[in-house]
Chains A and B, each alone.
Chain A
Amino acid sequence: MVRRHFPVAAFAGLIVAIQLATLFTGTPYYLTQLTMTAYYSLVVVGLCMLIGYAGQISLGHAGFFAIGGYVSAFLTTFDLQHHRGAFVSLLEKSGALVFRHDVYGGSLLTVHPWLACAAAILLTVAVAYLVGGPVLKLKGHYLAMATLGIGIIVYRIVLGTEFLGAADGISEVPGFPLPGGLLITGNASSRVSNYYLAWGIVILGMVLLLNLIRSRVGRALAAVHGAEDAAEAMGIPTARYKLHTFVLSAVFAAVAGVLLTHYNAGIGPSEAGVMKSVRYVAIVAIGGMANLWGALSMSLVLNYLSLRGYFGTYDDAVFGVILILIMLFAPDGLLRRHLLSDLKRMVSRNPAEEETP
């Protein structure tokens, strides 16, 4: 086994160990929150790529999460039976639509989840490209405010649109079928399989990002982060790399939104809220900015604690405090990659200073 595969294997081992622990302590219901944590972690690692490696902040990723979730939820719950036209029958013939029964036994004709997922990702890519171009030209606090603004626009639109359920959101979203008879759904009977599915997808995403960081693109991004003008002078198309990373992390958020919506069987406007975006950024910050594993492990711990309700009514305040403390004392992030070597240097420097008179 190559050395760089070790963390992936270790993390997979941790996931198995957690499942076994819940099995032996008789607490399998924890797996539900852990599965939701997995999907939120997908957003976090995507955002970590953008913040840590491309050096661009986004306070609007909950917006992309919501675009993914809402498009998928709407398409898989909207009954097309009474909207029969040429386009609908064409879709029906090509197998893109499915008949199913709702909870009351009535029949529904809706878009197939896979097609809905594809539509959700396509829309996210389109939006991310459209706003990413001009947004990423901005720097510093203008970038932060612009992305925050995009998040709020999405929030306002889903909150104010009647067919998206307004303040109630969309419910009764069906499960997401996967090959091999698997189904992404919140049913207690498929809790274990869904837990592994979700974390499997996260690990898949991690491997993708880790390989990307090790590639030409990753090195280019590191150069952009270090010194954008110098990178530009070396012939790196900085704007294009930043935009592509932005779109990639938006897609991560949208996929997470689609899957969590199918898992929870619904989505509400709070998923698009500013607090969610701030929370993702806070987790990336505490995870060490340019440290995918740090972000992932912090996301696992903090999202889980938050979803289990350990923070009580102080939920938002906890993430606000985390953000303040990190930005005050460790603006490079807490679990940054060179933390160990930095600490070592600090320890070894002290005796050296004593020697010099």
Chain B
Amino acid sequence: MLGGMTAVTLNHFLPLPLAIVLAVVLTMIIGAVIEILFIRWLYKPSVLRMVIITIGVSILVREIALHIWGEGVRALPYFTGSSVSSINLGGVYVSSQVLWVIGIGALAVASLTAFFNLTMLGRQMRACAANRDAARLCGIDAGNMVTLSFVLSAAIGAIGGAIVCPITYVQYDSGTPLAIKGFTVAILGGLGNSTAAVGAGMILGILESFSIWVLPTAYKEAISIAILLAILFFKPSGIFGSAEAARLKEF
């Protein structure tokens, strides 16, 4: 939401690509500030405590956004073409923005995978996720890793917000449902597995879109949450996660 909103505002006086880049950078900084202000200095916070704090922060961000941008619905222009133009792909007409979303999404996933598997920093981050104390013993600054993970996920969120907002529009409260959907997808794919999360995200999106065949459209939002609950109840390791790995985590 922040990514989309700042990009829309910046686009008033900056060219589109520059506005998006700057919006992503700004959101990263906000992510870092939030982590440093609210999480970093806590001594061994429980995950529940962090969740409640972040829920509080998200309410705060939402309220601030409401006071800055008001209740209006905004959107970025289409990156190429317009909302009525489309591209013919072997008989299927697709809006050009959809291709942008898929392309940039794929790029983000690929670079994340590369980051976590190939770079030192990415490996250090995974070590922290697996075992914080052991990682610290190996000389990894776990505190910085947490900040970095906040910055990274803020960046990805902002990119996502900026690229889909020409299609879905953006509003001060469009963040909350996305946060829950994000959590659902993460659980569905098995936490800490970004490639599986993509598959899970596709499954969720398709299920949600097709649910309007059998249920009223107004219930669409409830579907993803019902799926989240079903996964938590019956297979908390996620559909792609292994049960053994999940047993090591605290549910």
Co-complex (A, B): yes
The answer, yes or no, to whether A92 is at the interface (CB within 8 Å) is: no
- Is there an interface contact between B56 and A321, defined as CB atoms closer than 8 Å? yes
Given A145-B51, A146-B229, is A159 in contact with B218 using a C-beta cutoff of 8 Å?
yes
Whether B251 and A139, one on each chain, are in contact in the complex, defined by CB atoms closer than 8 angstroms, is yes
**In the assembled complex, A308 has its CB within 8 A of some CB on chain B:** no
Q: For the complex, what is the distance from the CA of A247 to the CA of B184, rounded to whole Å?
A: 25
Give the interface size bracket for B toward A: 35 or more
A198: CB under 8 A from chain B?
Answer: no
In the complex, what residues of B have CB within 8 A of residue A144's CB? Answer: 48, 51-52, 55
A145-B56 CB under 8 A given contacts A156-B219, A159-B218: no
B46 part of interface (Cβ distance < 8 Å): yes
Determine if B51 and A317 form an interchain contact, defined as CB atoms under 8 angstroms apart: no
In the complex, the number of residue pairs spanning A and B with C-beta atoms less than 8 Å apart equals 119
Please classify the interface of chain A as helix (H, G, I), strand (E, B), loop, or mixed, using the class held by over half of its residues: helix
| Chain B residues within 8 Å of A324, by CB | 38, 53, 56-57, 60
Q: How far is the CB of B121 from chain A (nearest CB, A)?
A: 25
Q: What 0/1 pattern do residues 139 to 166 of A give for CB contact below 8 A with B? A: 1111111101110110011011100001
Look across to chain A and name the residue whose beta carbon is closest to the beta carbon of B59: A320
| A274 and B176 within 8 A (CB) | yes
Chain B residues within an 8 Å CB radius of A146: 228-229, 232
- Assess the B59–A278 pair: CB atoms within 8 A: yes
B207 at interface (Cβ–Cβ under 8 A)?
Answer: no
A323 within 8 Å of B (CB atoms): yes
Whether A138 contacts B251 by the Cβ 8 Å rule is: yes
Given known A-B contacts A142-B232, A142-B251, A146-B232, A317 and B221 have beta carbons under 8 A apart: no
A314-345: which residues lie under 8 A (CB-CB) from chain B?
Answer: 314, 316-317, 319-321, 323-324, 327-328, 331
Q: Is A189 an interface residue (CB 8 A)?
A: no
Q: Which residues on A sit within 8 Å (CB–CB) of B133?
A: none
A141 to B216 CA separation, bound complex (whole angstroms): 30
- Please indicate the chain B residues that have their CB under 8 angstroms from the CB of A313 in the complex: 66-67
> What are 25 pairs between A and B in contact, CB < 8 Å?
A131-B229, A135-B229, A140-B47, A140-B251, A144-B52, A146-B232, A153-B229, A156-B218, A156-B221, A156-B225, A157-B219, A160-B217, A161-B218, A316-B63, A317-B59, A317-B63, A320-B59, A321-B60, A323-B55, A324-B53, A324-B56, A324-B57, A327-B53, A328-B38, A328-B42
